[in-house]
A and B are shown apart, each in its own frame.
Chain A
Amino acid sequence: MAGKTLYDKLWDDHVVHTEDDGSCLIYIDRQLLHEVTSPQAFEGLRLSGRHPWRIARNLAVADHNIPTTDRAKGIADPVSRLQVETLESNCKEFGITEFHMSDIRQGIVHVVGPEQGATLPGMTVVCGDSHTSTHGASAALAFGIGTSEVEHALATQCLVQKKAKNMLIKVNGKAGPGVTAKDIVLAVIGNIGTAGGTGYTIEFGGEAIRALSMEGRMTICNMAIEAGARAGLIACDDTTIDYYQGRPYAPKGDDWNMAVRYWQKLHSDSDAKFDKVIEFNAAEIKPQVSWGTSPEMVLPVDASVPDPAQEADPVKRQGIERALQYMGLQAGQKITDIKLDKVFIGSCTNSRIEDLRAAAAVIKGRKKAESVKQVLIVPGSGLIKQQAEAEGLDKIFTEANFEWREPGCSMCLAMNADRLEAGEHCASTSNRNFEGRQGYGGRTHLVSPAMAAAAAIAGHFVNVAEQGV
C-alpha cells in the first residue's frame, strides 16, 4: 500500500461518517469566530433552538472592525460597533470564550490562534474566514468556511466535506538575501495562478520551506487560498514543536509528551502519492511586487508592467487591460518607478514579530519619504505589540514618522477607519489586491514587510535584495 500524504493522515483521523457519494462528516477540533461572519450563525442557532455541541472548542475575537487608534474611545462607527457588540453578547449567551478589545490577547484571529496554542498540530481548524489556511503551517487541517457552515460546526462539531486532491509544492534550495516567505508564496501564485490550487490541498515542502520559521510558514499557508486551495499544509518538525512549547492552550505534562509523539508523525510518508507536484528553485526567486488586481498579477521587483498586446488569450488580455486601467499604470512601466501614497504593514499574512523586525531592520535611523502620506504599522495582536515595544521597534517606526497602531485587520480590508482614498497606491503586506479591497478606488501592491518598509523610505519600490538587507 502506498504511503499517505500529510493531508491523507489528517483527513483519515477526523472522519466520523462517510456517505455513499464519498462526502464525509468530518470532526472539527477547533472553531475560531470573529464578528463579521458569525452573527447570522448564532441567529440560526437561536431560531432553531440548538446549542453548541462543545462550547470550549470555540474561541472568539473581534478583529475586522476594530479601531487601531486609541481603544479607550470605543468604536465610532455605529454599524461596526453593533457588530462587535453582537459578537460579545452572542459569546456571553452561549458561554464561548472571547478576547475583548481591551484584552492584551486580542488580535487578528489567525494570529491569535497559534499564538495562544488554541490551534495545534493535528487539529482540524475552521473559521468563517478564507485565511484560516494560515493554521496549516502547524500541520493542522485548516480551512475557511461560510456562515452556514459556522452554524453547522457550532451545532454539530462537524462539517460535511468532500476530500480534496493532494498537491505538493516543493521549493528547493536556499532563498537569497532579502527574499522572504512572502516573496516565495507570491512567486508561486504568480506561476500557478489564483485557480491553480482549486480542488487541492497544497502541502508546501522542500529545503526553503523547512528553513522558514513558524512565522514564515504561516505567511506561506495564509496565501494558499490566494492560489485557490482551501487549505495549505506544512509538515510538523522541531520548529513546530518548539513553537508550541509553553503556549497557554497547548497540552502540558504527560499530555504534552503524548501529543509530541503524535505530532512527530504529521508529515507525508516518503512513498506518498500526490496528484500533482510542482517544483520551484528558491535561488531564482526575487523580491516580488503585485502590479494588478489579482494576486497572480505579480512580478519580480526588477521587472516591468506587462503589455496586454503581448497576451494571446483574449480573456487574459482583457484582464490585463482592465487591471492596468484600474491601477493607473502604463504597459512597460518599470515596477521601481511606481510611486507610493501609503504603506501598510500588517494583516494575518505579515503582522507577526518577525515581520515587524524585518521592517524595522530596513528603516532603522531613516525617515519616511515626504511624498508618502501615511505609513501604518499594525501588529497582529496585543502580545506582539508588547513584544515589539520591549524590543524598541516602536521607537524605530515612530522616529521614521511611521504610525504605530493597535492590533486588528485594519487596512487589509478597510472595514474600520483605516483605508485608501481613490487612486492612491499602497505598498501593502496583506494578501489581496482586488479592486477596492483597501478602500474604494484604492490601488494595492502586495509585497513583503522589508519591501514595504524600503518603499516607504524611498517613496517608490526598491529592490531590497540589491540593498543587501
Chain B
Amino acid sequence: MRAFTTLTALVAPLDRANIDTDAIIPKQFLKSIRRAGFGPYLFDEWRYLDHGEPDMDCTNRPLNQDFVLNKAQYKGAQILLTRENFGCGSSREHAPWALEDYGFRAIIAPSFADIFFNNCFKNGILPIVLPAEIVDRLFNEMADGYRLTIDLQAQTITTPSGQAIGFNVDENRRYRLLNGLDDIALSLQHADKIKAYEAERAKRAPWLFKDA
C-alpha cells in the first residue's frame, strides 16, 4: 500500500450529503475481477450523460458539464471536500479503488459511513472528519485553484491563508498509513496469540472446532 505522509493538492467540492457507494461506482463495474482501472468510471452516472458499461472506452463519452469533476478548474484535484455520511451503503471496496485510481488521496467530510471509512485506510486514502461548521467554511472559502496542505504526521490541514486546522486519526491507523504497512503481515506477527486463542476457545466451544 502507498504511504500517506503529506499532501498539497487541489480541492474538488462535491456539495451533497449521503453520497452512497452505488453512486461512487455503479454496480455494473463490480463485475471486474481486477483491482485497478476503476478511475474512469468514478461517479459514472453523474459524470457522463450516457450509460456506462464495464470495459467501455470513456474518452469519447458525452460528459455532464454540470458535474463538478468535469469542470476545468478541478482537473487534477486530489482532495475531495464533501458532506456528511459519505460512502454509505454497499461495502464495495471498489469505491475507494475508484477514488484512488482517479487520483484522490484524501477526503474531507463531517462524517463517513463506517465500512467505507475503514476501506479507505486499506488503500492509502486518508478520510478526514472535521466538524460540520469547518467543512461549511471550507466550502465557502473555495475559490479557483483552492489548495490545501495535509500533514498526517502533525494531523493538520493548512488553508491557503495559512490557517491550520487540526484533525484526529486513530494511532494504529495513522501509523499504518504513514508507513504504508500491509495489515496482514502485521496481524500475522500475532500468529502465536491466534493459535493460543483457538486452543482456549476450542475448550469453551468445541462445536466450532470439529472441522479441519
Q: Are B188 and A156 in contact (CB under 8 A)?
A: yes
Q: Is the CB of B193 within 8 A of A23?
A: no
| Alpha-carbon distance between A162 and B31 when the two chains are bound, in angstroms | 31
Contact in complex: B89, A432 (CB < 8 Å): yes
Within 8 A of A (CB), among B1-43: 16-18, 20, 22-23, 26-28, 30-35
Q: Quick check: B183 and A55 within 8 Å, CB to CB?
A: no
User: Could you tell me the distance between the alpha carbons of A332 and B35 in the complex, rounded to whole angstroms?
Assistant: 45
Q: Contact partner of A160 among B17, B187, B197, CB < 8 A?
A: B187
A123 (CB) vs chain B CBs: closest residue: B208
Complex partner residue of B183 from A29, A80, A160, A259, CB under 8 angstroms? A160
A52-69 interface code vs B (CB 8 A; 1 in, 0 out): 011111000000110000
B75 close to A (CB within 8 Å): no
Which stretch (A146-154, A167-175, A450-458) binds chain B? A146-154
Given A48-B184, A262-B204: A145 touches B35 (CB 8 Å cut-off): no
**Contact between B51 and A440 (Cβ–Cβ < 8 Å)?**
yes
Residues in B115-162 with C-beta less than 8 Å from chain A:
115, 118-119, 122-123
**Alpha-carbon distance between A162 and B118 when the two chains are bound, in angstroms:** 10
Asked if B212 CB lies within 8 Å of chain A CBs, one says yes
- Residues of chain B contacted by A147 (CB below 8 angstroms): 35, 93
Residues of A within 8 A of B114 (CB): 164, 198-199, 228, 230
Contact between A437 and B22, CB atoms less than 8 A apart: yes
Q: Would you call A423 an interface residue if the criterion is a C-beta within 8 Å of the partner chain's C-beta atoms?
A: no
CA distance A194 to B112 in the complex (A): 11
Q: What is the size, in residues, of chain B's interface with A at 8 Å between Cβ atoms? A: 60
Q: Does A157 contact B (CB under 8 A)?
A: yes
Whether B33 pairs with A86 at a CB distance below 8 angstroms is yes
A197 CA to B206 CA in the complex, in Å? 34
Number of interface residues of A (CB under 8 A): 77
Q: Which of A4-12, A35-43, A208-216 contacts B (4 or more CB under 8 A)?
A: A35-43
Say whether B201 contacts A145, CB under 8 Å. Answer: no
Q: Are A148 and B115 in contact (CB under 8 A)?
A: no
Q: Are B212 and A55 in contact (CB under 8 A)?
A: yes
B184 contacts A50, C-beta separation under 8 Å: yes
What is the minimal beta-carbon distance from A123 to any residue of chain B, in angstroms? 7
Identify A130's interface contact among B26, B34, B89, B173, CB under 8 A.
Answer: B89
Segment at the B interface, from A14-22, A369-377, A386-394, A397-405: A14-22
CA A418 – CA B97 in complex, angstroms?
27
A179 interface residue, CB < 8 Å from B? no
A435 interface hit (Cβ, 8 Å) = yes
What is the distance, in angstroms, from B84's C-beta to the closest C-beta of chain A? 7
CB <8 Å contact, A25 and B187? yes
Q: A29-B208, A50-B184, A145-B91 are in contact. Are A36 and B30 (CB under 8 A)?
A: yes
Chain B residue with minimal CB distance to A122? B205
Residue A415, interface by CB 8 Å: yes
**Complex partner residue of A436 from B45, B115, B188, CB under 8 angstroms:** B45
For the complex, is B108 an interface residue (Cβ under 8 Å from A)? no
Please give me the residue from chain B that is nearest to A296 by CB atom. B18
- Contacting residues, chain A, for B194 (C-beta < 8 A): 16, 25, 27, 53, 156-158
Write out the residue numbers on chain A whose beta carbons fall within 8 Å of the beta carbon of B23. Answer: 434-436
Quote the shortest CB–CB distance from B120 to chain A (angstroms).
9
A136 at the interface (CB under 8 A from B): no
- The answer to whether A83 and B31 have CB atoms under 8 Å apart is yes
Q: Which residues between 243 and 259 of chain A lie within 8 Å of chain B, taking CB atoms?
A: 251, 255-256, 258-259
A contact set with B: CB distance below 8 Å: 16-17, 19-21, 23, 25, 27, 29, 36-37, 39-40, 43, 48, 50, 53-57, 64-65, 77, 79-80, 82-83, 86, 122-123, 128-130, 143-149, 151-152, 155-158, 160, 162, 164, 194-195, 198-199, 228, 230, 251, 255-256, 258-259, 262, 294, 315-316, 318-319, 322, 413-415, 432, 434-437, 440
- A selection of 16 A-B contacts at a CB cut-off of 8 Å is A16-B194, A25-B190, A27-B201, A36-B31, A37-B30, A37-B92, A40-B35, A50-B184, A130-B91, A156-B194, A198-B113, A228-B85, A432-B20, A435-B23, A435-B45, A440-B51
Q: Closest 6 CB pairs between A and B?
A: A56-B211, A251-B207, A146-B93, A148-B122, A39-B33, A21-B171
